[in-house]
Structures are given as structure tokens and as C-alpha cells.
Amino acid sequence: MNLSSDTIQLFLAVLDQGSFSAAARVLGRVPSAVSMAIGNLEAELGYPLFERNSREVTATARARALEPHARLIAEQLGQWRIHALELSLGLESTLAIAAVPDIDHGPLLEAVGALCVRHPLLDIEILSAPQEEALQLLDDGRVNLCLAFAGLQVDARRNFQNLGVESLVAVISPAHPALRDKRIRYLEDLIAVRQILVCSRDLPISDTRSLIGATHWRTDSLDMALQMVEAGLGWGDFPLSRVTPLLANGRLLRLDFRNTRNELQLPVHAFWLKQLPLQQAARALVDSLAAR
């Protein structure tokens, strides 16, 4: 059967308008052409789609059964046409993003959701990787955009847009022996307690602002790090947005220091390579995140 987008359009127009003449007016055709096209379709299918009278047509049960699939095809064809036009106007076909696990991903997912509504056929990939690995993915050209903490130095290879700050707080299990022995009163007391770090498996730590413990265990997963701290294996400096529920139900404890506030605020940036300027969707995403 030779089914085309034109056939789908004709079929739906007759369904919606209730007559060949009304469908012809909507489509800008003559009624005889619409009637003949539907007749040819019925001949190919081997059964009638419409019952005819002098002025109107009534859809048969088989036509109603085909209707949902026809509307889905028409919607997808419409999206395809829009996407094809957007590509011709500079929209990228794919967008790959790396995001460090130590930031609140809620704003990113909300912005991506809005972007998908605007560009439903855009292929989006979101990777989660520790700071050093996320930036390496960007430098290697594996991703177009990287959401990470601002470094101690500006990298001349990258452009960036500040998106806000993330608050890191030192937390520990309420059952940790260091609390029972009252060994943690000041920030510097943490030097003697094992620290749980979220960092790359292979790359060295480039930003040591949150590194305090003289001894530390490493993992590349924030979820695993939280579980390790909850199990009493050490303390960790984690995003407040992620630990708040664990603090509320008593699974973790936010440390209270006598000599300083327990909160490290780090700027969060969107990074991209200078040699690869942001395309349409990536630019829209960065602008949306920066406006929040």
C-alpha cells in the first residue's frame, strides 16, 4: 500500500470536517480530488472508511480504529518538519552535557525539560562525572557543555557563564565515634578524621578547597559517598541541597564548629570550549540557567 503524508492529511481532514467539500476547502483542493483520493485509499485497504450521503460522510468503525495512529503519524511528521527547519537555521542535532554530582541538578533538569518542549526531536545526553572528569569530557570534545565548580584559576581554553553558587556542608553520621568522644569541636579537628571524597578515579584533584582530612577515601559517586558517611566510615563535605532530607530525618548530622560557619560556598559555572562556540540549543540552555 502506498501510504504517504498527503494520504494521512486527507484522511484526518475528512474525519475532522465531516464532508469531502469541507475537507477540500481546508486543504485548498477541489472536492472531487479529495473524494477520489479517499476512494483510492479504501480500494487499497479493501474496506470502506466513510459512509456517504448527499452532503456528509460518517466515519466507519474501522476509520475510528485507524484515527489514533493517523494522528500520531501526523504529529510526528509535524515535529519532523519543524526540526528539519530548525536544523537549517542552526539548531544542533545533539546536545551532550556533563554535570558534576556535587551540584543541585534540579535547575538543569527543569531547563532541559523546557528545551525539550521547544525542540522535541533534539537528542540530549546528560552525563554525571566528578569535577576533573567532567571538565576532561569537555576538553576532549565528548560533551558540548559542562556544569561544574569554578576552578581556582581561569582556563584560557574555556568560556564560562556563572550560574550561581552551591553550598557544601560538612556532615557525619550521628553514630560516628568522633562525636561520641567529642573530638570534633573546631574545623581543624576534621584533619584527624577520615574524609569521604567524591572525585575522579584516575585524575588528580585540582581544587583542594574542600579537602581537609589528612586521610581520605574516594568514590566517583555522590550517592555512594553519602552512604559511606551514613555508615560511619568518615565525614564528607556535600551539597546542602542533597543532604537536607538526610539531615531532616536524622540519618546525617551537620557539624557545628565553634570557630567558623559550616558552609563552603562555591561558584557553579557552565563551561564550553572557545574553539567550539555554543550553538542554538546549548545557548538557550545556558541563558535559561543563568536567569534562574
Band the pLDDT of 288: cuts 50, 70, 90: very high
Q: Note the pLDDT tens digit of each residue in 99-138.
A: 999 899 999 999 999 998 888 878 899 999 999 999 999 9
CB 267 within 8 A of CB 154: no
- Span between the terminal Cα atoms of the chain, in Å: 52
Tell me: pLDDT of 85 over 70: no
Q: Note the pLDDT tens digit of each residue in 246-284.
A: 999 999 999 999 999 999 999 999 999 998 888 889 999
Same domain, 154 and 284: yes
Query: Domain of 68: which CATH number?
Result: 1.10.10.10
Same domain, 175 and 235: yes
CB atoms within 10 A of CB 233: 15
**CA torsion angle 100 108 237 162 (round to 10):** 80
Q: Note the pLDDT tens digit of each residue in 168-190.
A: 999 999 999 999 888 899 999 99
Q: Give pLDDT, residue 132.
A: 93
Band the pLDDT of 204: cuts 50, 70, 90: confident
Q: Give pLDDT, residue 125.
A: 96
Distance between CA atoms of residues 207 and 199, nearest Å: 10
Same domain, 101 and 77: no
Residue 220 CB partners (closer than 8 Å, separation 6+): 129, 130, 133, 198, 199, 200, 201
Distance between CA atoms of residues 145 and 138, nearest Å: 7
Tell me: pLDDT of 82 over 60: yes
Distance between CA atoms of residues 229 and 56, nearest Å: 72
Q: What is the pTM of this model?
A: 0.68
Q: Give the range among 49-53, 90-94, 218-222 with minimum mean pLDDT.
A: 90-94
Q: Give pLDDT, residue 255.
A: 95
Same domain, 177 and 260: yes
Residue 252 to residues 166, 174, 216, 262, Cα–Cα distance (Å) = 19, 6, 18, 14
Query: Domain of 152: which CATH number?
Result: 3.40.190.10
Q: Which domain holds residue 68?
A: 5-88
